[in-house]
């Protein structure tokens, strides 16, 4: 087993107790680590017992038996990123709707590759809002939230500045950041697919816009408000409600009381820029 594969197993072993299937996933990782000699048979047995109920904390079972819990090695950047991409796929796999299968097919090709980590790039929006966003995301998908928290510093966060300032407005420009996990210069290379994370401060309007790239959003916080026609009414959507924007479909997002933290994917035409669409009511929301 490679060092990275072992590190990813240790991260899987540390999955928080509670989410459906988490007990079985931890036990699966424990079996592989036991087979490689990293866990004792008694420790493995504790993970087996804890797997009978997702809410049972394996360390508690070990404490009851007088066992010392395993001490995972510190994961490196490649392992943190690999765990994040695997968790992203797990989260998507539980959902259905337009764009999900297409995104997972493209993601599957990346999962076969080894990530190429690069130095992370900090961003003021991330420093200001990520902690609050992850606290909220923890109540929606604690495992994915933990994987994002572990890898945030490994990611190249960018504030997009290609929109004409007069069209996108002054608020969104300084209130968002995104990073790519898969893309032309991301840890996983893809020539015409982009998948990553998007963070926007609370109470911000991302004005009506469109782009040739079909786009999937999977918000990990919520509720936030959306509309799909300039000047139309906004509707409120909860966390984990996927939003699929077909090519050139207008869309706007009005973030709620929490920071907006979302997975995003552009499934093709990623080099074609987005453009702002005029609307007459932006001042009501900004
Ligand atoms: Fe978009």
pLDDT tens-digit map of 92-104: 999 999 999 999 9
Q: How confident is the model at residue 123 (pLDDT cuts 50, 70, 90)?
A: very high
CA of 211 to the centre of ligand 1 (A): 7
User: Per-residue pLDDT averaged across 211-235, rounded?
Assistant: 98
Q: Which pLDDT score is estimated for 35?
A: 95
The percentage of residues in the chain with a pLDDT greater than 70, rounded to a whole number, is 99
Whether residue 198 has pLDDT greater than 90: yes
3 has pLDDT over 80: no
Indicate if the pLDDT at residue 1 is higher than 70. Answer: no
pLDDT of residue 160: 84
- Report pLDDT digits (tens) over 23-80: 999 999 999 999 999 999 999 999 999 999 998 999 999 999 999 999 888 889 999 9
Q: Is the pLDDT of residue 240 over 70?
A: yes
Rounded-to-integer distance, Cα 194 and Cα 94, Å = 21
Which helix (H) or strand (E) segment holds residue 120: the answer is none
Q: Which is higher by pLDDT, 95 or 112?
A: 95
CB 217 within 8 A of CB 240: no
pLDDT over 90 percentage in the chain: 83
Tell me how far the alpha carbon of residue 12 lies from the centroid of ligand 1, in angstroms. 32
Region 260-286 average pLDDT: 96
pLDDT tens digits, residue range 241-258? 999 999 999 999 999 999
For 77-284, give the CATH class: mainly beta
Can you tell me the distance from the alpha carbon of 132 to that of 101, in angstroms, rounded to the nearest whole number?
A: 30
CA of 150 to the centre of ligand 1 (A): 26
Q: Distance between CA atoms of 54 and 74, rounded to whole angstroms?
A: 25
Rounded distance from Cα 251 to ligand 1 centre (Å): 7
- Are 247 and 192 within 8 A, CB to CB? no
CA of 210 to the centre of ligand 1 (A): 6
Task: For residue 24, report the distance from its CA to the centre of ligand 1, in Å.
Answer: 36
Torsion of CA 137, 140, 144, 150, to 10 degrees: 30
Q: How many CB atoms lie within 10 A of CB 41?
A: 7
Coil, strand or helix at 179: strand
Model pLDDT, residue 18 = 86
What predicted TM-score, i.e. pTM, was given to this entire model?
Answer: 0.89
What was the pLDDT predicted at 19? 87
Mean pLDDT, all residues of the chain:
94
> 55 C-alpha vs ligand 1 centroid, how far in Å?
37
Task: Please give the distance, rounded to the nearest whole angstrom, from the Cα atom of residue 266 to the centre of ligand 1.
Answer: 9
pLDDT tens digit sequence for 256-268:
999 999 999 999 9
Stretch 143-159: mean pLDDT: 96
pLDDT value at residue 162: 83
Structure tokens belonging to residue 157: 């966060």
pLDDT of residue 31: 96
Ligand 1 centre from 215 Cα, in Å?
A: 6
Cα 114 to Cα 15, 66, 82, 219: the distances in Å are: 22, 39, 8, 26
CB atoms within 10 A of CB 51: 20
Mention every residue, 6+ apart, whose C-beta is less than 8 A from residue 97.
242, 244
Rounded distance from Cα 31 to ligand 1 centre (Å): 42
- 47: CA distance to ligand 1 center in Å? 43
Residue 239, classified by CB atoms within 10 Å of its CB into exposed (0-12), middle (13-18) or buried (19+), is buried
- Over 80: is that where the pLDDT of 181 sits? yes
What pLDDT is stored for residue 159 in this prediction? 93
Boundaries of every domain in the chain: 3-64, 77-284
Q: Calculate how far, in angstroms, residue 199's C-alpha sits from the geometric centre of ligand 1.
A: 13
pLDDT band at 4; cut points 50, 70, 90: confident
């Amino acid at each position: 087993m490679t060092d990275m594969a072992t590190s990813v197993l240790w991260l899987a072993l540390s999955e928080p107790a509670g989410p459906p299937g988490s007990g079985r996933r931890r036990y699966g990782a424990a079996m592989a680590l036991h087979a490689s000699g990293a866990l004792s048979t008694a420790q493995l047995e504790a993970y087996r017992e804890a797997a009978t109920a997702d809410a049972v904390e394996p360390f508690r079972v070990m404490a009851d038996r007088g066992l010392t819990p395993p001490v995972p090695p510190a994961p490196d950047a490649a392992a943190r990123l690999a765990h994040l991409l695997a968790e992203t796929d797990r989260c998507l796999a539980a959902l259905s709707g337009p764009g999900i299968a297409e995104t997972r097919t493209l993601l599957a090709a990346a999962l076969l590759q080894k990530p190429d980590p690069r130095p992370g790039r900090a961003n003021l929006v991330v420093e200001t809002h990520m902690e609050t966003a992850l606290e909220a995301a923890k109540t929606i998908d604690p495992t994915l939230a933990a994987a994002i928290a572990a890898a945030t510093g490994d990611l190249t966060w960018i504030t997009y500045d290609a929109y004409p300032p007069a069209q996108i407005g002054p608020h969104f420009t300084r209130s968002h950041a995104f990073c790519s996990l898969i893309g032309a210069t991301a840890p996983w290379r893809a020539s015409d697919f982009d998948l990553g994370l998007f963070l926007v401060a609370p109470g911000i309007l991302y004005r009506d816009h469109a782009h040739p790239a079909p786009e999937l959003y999977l918000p990990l916080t919520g509720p936030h408000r959306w509309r799909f026609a300039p000047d139309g009414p906004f509707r409120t959507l909860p966390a984990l409600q996927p939003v699929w924007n077909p090519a050139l479909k207008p869309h706007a997002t009005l973030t709620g009381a929490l920071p907006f933290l979302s997975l995003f994917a552009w499934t093709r035409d990623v080099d074609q820029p987005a453009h702002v669409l005029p609307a007459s009511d932006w001042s009501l929301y900004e």
